[in-house]
Structure 1
């Protein structure tokens, strides 16, 4: 019996509802797996449809088209002589399931439905599918005519089973099942299964990668075995980005890892493994006793061997793949890569003429612009790198020429040349704008190669305020000129909202002005960070309104760390000025004694907002629970050797590989503020907590109109489906929660007096 076998897993950039494109990428991955000598190929979750079809999964058409595509894959000459594990939705006895279809040489071996569905956060799988609850059980599935004519099979097994080949046994998990306490691979392994596959649609979040990698390695560190992890990659049509990073792990050690971020639409990861290593590692008598007591699994017999035949290459020529160090990016690198690739996928699918952003000279629109520049850098690098896969290079060149409206001979000489074609910025100043912000915006646009315009909108603002004064005989004034808070706010908001109107006018007409042959409009980018959205510190329908928002899920502290990283990594020294500038909306007059400040306006710091956001969403705490938690953490004295919270949050993490893969490099910056201690009194903590909930609640209605933002943070307030909370609340100040906190504060103060 042979011991060495080559196995393949892959990451595919599948588009929701792109049946023909998805089919082509699946076949290409099988072709590459076979070329590498693999005998088993595993693909991502729901790869025929794309993961993000959402309510399209409720349509009967989607199941029909899946079988049509599967028939073409099974019949394709490139897909023979290799076991293939492909993902698609299947209807069985009028029930919808999320399935793996495993086939070999035009014969379906097993249809394996998902047992544990992802049904929280961004996922609503139980809206579309039913979990398979019959463990260790199979029943007959009657094949559709489209496939039956090819396979010659009338019925095939459907359910939970292990597939036995001539030399080993393997079984499938699907995404969420790895994250459950009682994962299927545990019982499969005790039943003699030696190879586990996991087909996933796991989305990216900042600092999430190490959690996922640890789960995968631990899956076989205890159970022993070979683990093949496949994941979706790219933006398949929604607010999520899937970050690939497919892996092959043997007994807890990684032997092959794919890229987490890349422009490859098809990436195949292969490794040669020695199955005897699994058998040797499963020697413990205690494990043997547990295996004996396991209920038996159904077995599907496959008349094929995964290992090299005795007449094949000798172990000296082939040999098992050596363990490799797991790689992970630092959080600033993740911000530089993930939103940039999300933007590239979005742009090439909608075929827009490029991007437009109101560039204010502040750090948020700056960070958004630098992310677009990062996209241009990645595209330029893929075109000119010798290590880019030929298919990827051809695709990127074709997309770049089409989007930049260039001829078939053109190649960009720099990232700035791509940016000059695709990216448009505009400084929309008023009498309240400073020369510093105007200058920073202009210099940043020049350094990244954007097409920049500079204008003032005072005449438009004055026209509207004059119209109001003429009709009402009332002239509103700013606060510094003696106006009321309502007047002051209205005068600020009209500037912000007019910038949105100007932005869309510019976005629609600039391609015509520049005589772009393919026409079309520019996509307007938003630049409201997750903390501002959480607090509601934005004007409804102002320039935060946009087509999409690449930083809508990123905290202010993480954006600062990203800008500090990009200043050096992208050779953009002007970014240092953005870091040192005071965040300001510049909507009020500047005087000798007053300069508008974001944190002063909000009544809380960005670092505090991050803590409130995590406690509210991730820790699931209401006002009382948050007050209690912060009493313990913020009520402690400040340690003598501690740094200020804001300084710690803005520090630049090292990007060395050793530190990137450590837990410290992926620790959430905001968590440091939670445990450092700040020496605050119970009343100070009470005021901060109730102030946060007051602003969250009265501004919650703004979350209903937020532009689609890339989800990369656990405490995103995005109203579409991630943060399902109402937008109409009673006053927090008169609530039962506030009275309970007030009573506790009074008791604590009374004890202190005694």
Structure 2
């Protein structure tokens, strides 16, 4: 018996929702057909793509509209696993079938079995992959539409490795990359796993439009794993129906692969969370700018740590990919400008990212508050009265700067409020309430500090040192409470009991009670602002934006009388363990 080789591809495509003709160099070819052509040119006979690839997984309510159902792609000589909206018994379904029996199935090709899995099923307790493994499936596909979150890649890879370690086989994981049309940024990182080991792994949060990688894998290497006694015993009763298909992966050796050697495990590449803060939002922002043909972005630099982080994300976009710098003149509508230097990200930032900063006293006292005082006889003190002078100036310059440069269009105004400021109410009081987008709105100040420290070293920018010690305006230190409230779904009393276990050696029960009550009072008072929050790049599960991840009423009983009374009674009974914390115990703050 000869070697049974199959050519397995994986790819990540930057695709815009509802953009059915998204080929970067053709107005008549869809991005899906473009990827299929490249995959066939590389000799692959199986092609897997993310969920809802045809219309785009960010089309949201457009799945309910008839035009979305009319789109499709036609191909020959290649088995394609693509996602689209299909009507089944008058219900619009997110699925991967057209004429085969509706539901879960195992696909039987010439000489192997292919199982199909959706992204969400990777995280379910009773994973469909287990049933497919017992049905002797050798190639499993996962068509994902996974959005970026800090540290999420660790969980994703661990689950993929765990499944192939238990049941062996080949696992093809595909994912979109880039802004899909809303607050989410799919981070790509397509990969292939074989018997619990990762071989090719795509890049995470790449600014490239397309990445395609193929790997020749010997299916016979699965046999020592698939013939285990426990599997043979359970596989006698097949749990999934079979669907025959005369195309797809074959057990014969493709031309040019007669002497394929053993595949080599790949060293998995994980980005640090502070790296991800630069990569994910930069990718999301870049797609926003180029797809809406906006002339660049504008931010009002207050000299604080948040506007510093917002600015560094633009620098990351220009620093990470030379193609971004080369393509920038087309976005700026000056492709033939001889003065544009594409050799360095600094020039890119100057062109696409104008800023303003108040540096003199006369700049801190402009005509806007003077005009208000002339009309009302009231002199405004913006730090006291919660003014939005920064945003007024930012909106004005964003409209006028393209005119000054002799171009049409406008700049997008970027906000610089993080999670802490949103929960505290500073977002609606100060300089971020009227911004167009916000790249750091779902990130805590704790993570932003690490990002600035990383950028200072990685990009050799010593000036960032001065921002690390800047006084925070609305910082929640540490951010444990919003993890407990949002991620762990705990009420005020349960948050208090959890913090007593974590902080009890450092703070008295009464002080912890006051901190918890203050947090929930401020969160309730400012909850209405989260209903109309400036669209932010979603980067963490603790995001306060109620668009999807923090749904709840916007009118709360802000004093929580029942819960707070219970907290006070419990605090009075608990023993104060904070008097002598011990020399070996670290401080919380």
Match of 2:20 in 1: 19
Deviations 1:400-431 (A, max 9, x none): 43435221886612112211211110114685
1:176 and 1:462, CA in 2 relative to 1: closer, same or farther beyond 3 A?
A: same
Choose 1 or 2 for highest CA Rg: 1
How many Å apart are 1:33 and its aligned residue?
1.6
Cα separation, 2, equivalents of 1:477 and 1:512: 31
The structure 1 residue matched to 2:384, chosen from 467, 477, 489, is 489
Contact 1:348 1:403 in 2 (8 A): no
The answer to whether residue 530 in structure 2 is matched with residue 534 in structure 1 is no
The structure 1 residue matched to 2:241, chosen from 283, 298, 323, is 298
How many Å apart are 1:37 and its aligned residue?
1.9
How many Å apart are 1:315 and its aligned residue?
3.8
Contact 2:530 2:544 in 1 (8 A): yes
Contact 1:220 1:251 in 2 (8 A): yes
The answer to whether residue 75 in structure 2 is matched with residue 94 in structure 1 is no
The answer to whether residue 364 in structure 2 is matched with residue 456 in structure 1 is yes
Cα separation, 2, equivalents of 1:541 and 1:488: 8
Cα separation, 1, equivalents of 2:243 and 2:534: 49
Task: Give 1:722-737 correspondences, 5 Å limit.
Answer: 722-732=549-559, 735-737=561-563
Contact 1:4 1:319 in 2 (8 A): no
How many Å apart are 1:224 and its aligned residue?
1.2
The structure 2 residue matched to 1:34, chosen from 9, 33, 40, is 40
SS of structure 1 residue aligned to 2:538? coil
Deviations 1:2-24 (A, max 9, x none): 51111112211111110121762
Match of 1:632 in 2: 501
Q: Which moved more, 1:343-352 or 1:716-725?
A: 716-725
Cα separation, 2, equivalents of 1:621 and 1:93: 40
Match of 1:85 in 2: 81
Task: Give 1:106-505 correspondences, 5 Å limit.
Answer: 111=98, 141=99, 156-292=100-236, 294-304=237-247, 306-307=249-250, 309=252, 312-313=255-256, 315-316=258-259, 318-379=260-321, 381-382=322-323, 397-398=326-327, 400-403=329-332, 405-407=334-336, 412-428=342-358, 455-469=363-377, 475=378, 489-490=384-385, 493-494=386-387, 497-505=388-396
The TM-score, its normalising length taken from structure 2, stands at 0.92
How many Å apart are 1:81 and its aligned residue?
2.5
Contact 1:231 1:244 in 2 (8 A): yes
Match of 2:587 in 1: none
How many Å apart are 1:93 and its aligned residue?
2.0
Cα separation, 1, equivalents of 2:550 and 2:452: 28
How many Å apart are 1:235 and its aligned residue?
0.0
Match of 1:611 in 2: 480
Segments ≥4 residues shifted beyond 6 Å: 750-753
How many Å apart are 1:284 and its aligned residue?
2.0
Cα separation, 2, equivalents of 1:242 and 1:465: 48
Deviations 1:59-117 (A, max 9, x none): 112101x2xx32xx32xxxxx3222111111012211111124xxxxxxxxx4xxxxxx
1:430 and 1:539, CA in 2 relative to 1: closer, same or farther beyond 3 A?
A: farther
Match of 2:6 in 1: 5
SS of structure 2 residue aligned to 1:31? helix
Task: Give 1:639-654 correspondences, 5 Å limit.
Answer: none
Cα separation, 2, equivalents of 1:505 and 1:285: 72
Q: Which moved more, 1:535-544 or 1:686-695?
A: 535-544
Match of 2:449 in 1: 560
Contact 2:77 2:247 in 1 (8 A): no
Aligned pairs, number: 572
1:12 and 1:246, CA in 2 relative to 1: closer, same or farther beyond 3 A?
A: same
Contact 2:369 2:380 in 1 (8 A): no
**Aligned-residue CA RMSD (Å):** 2.4
Contact 2:107 2:245 in 1 (8 A): yes
Contact 1:404 1:418 in 2 (8 A): no
Cα separation, 1, equivalents of 2:323 and 2:406: 28
Cα separation, 2, equivalents of 1:37 and 1:738: 66
Cα separation, 2, equivalents of 1:305 and 1:700: 53
Cα separation, 2, equivalents of 1:476 and 1:499: 17
SS of structure 1 residue aligned to 2:101? strand
Cα separation, 1, equivalents of 2:333 and 2:465: 30
Deviations 1:660-694 (A, max 9, x none): xxxxxxxxxxxxxxxxxxx2111011011001111
1:301 and 1:731, CA in 2 relative to 1: closer, same or farther beyond 3 A?
A: closer
Cα separation, 1, equivalents of 2:212 and 2:330: 26
Q: Which moved more, 1:341-350 or 1:412-421?
A: 412-421
Contact 1:28 1:266 in 2 (8 A): no
Contact 1:272 1:319 in 2 (8 A): no
Gaps of 5+ in 1: 75-79, 102-110, 112-140, 142-155, 384-395, 432-453, 470-474, 479-486, 584-597, 637-678
Match of 1:525 in 2: 414
Greater share of residues in helix: 1
SS of structure 1 residue aligned to 2:483? helix
Cα separation, 1, equivalents of 2:273 and 2:491: 28
Match of 1:715 in 2: 542
Match of 1:43 in 2: 49
Cα separation, 2, equivalents of 1:15 and 1:458: 42
Cα separation, 2, equivalents of 1:31 and 1:84: 12
How many Å apart are 1:336 and its aligned residue?
1.4
Match of 1:514 in 2: 405
Match of 1:60 in 2: 66
SS of structure 1 residue aligned to 2:16? coil
Deviations 1:552-572 (A, max 9, x none): 011111111111111121121
How many Å apart are 1:750 and its aligned residue?
10
Contact 1:271 1:320 in 2 (8 A): no
Match of 1:391 in 2: none
1:551 and 1:242, CA in 2 relative to 1: closer, same or farther beyond 3 A?
A: same
Deviations 1:221-250 (A, max 9, x none): 111111000001100110000000001111
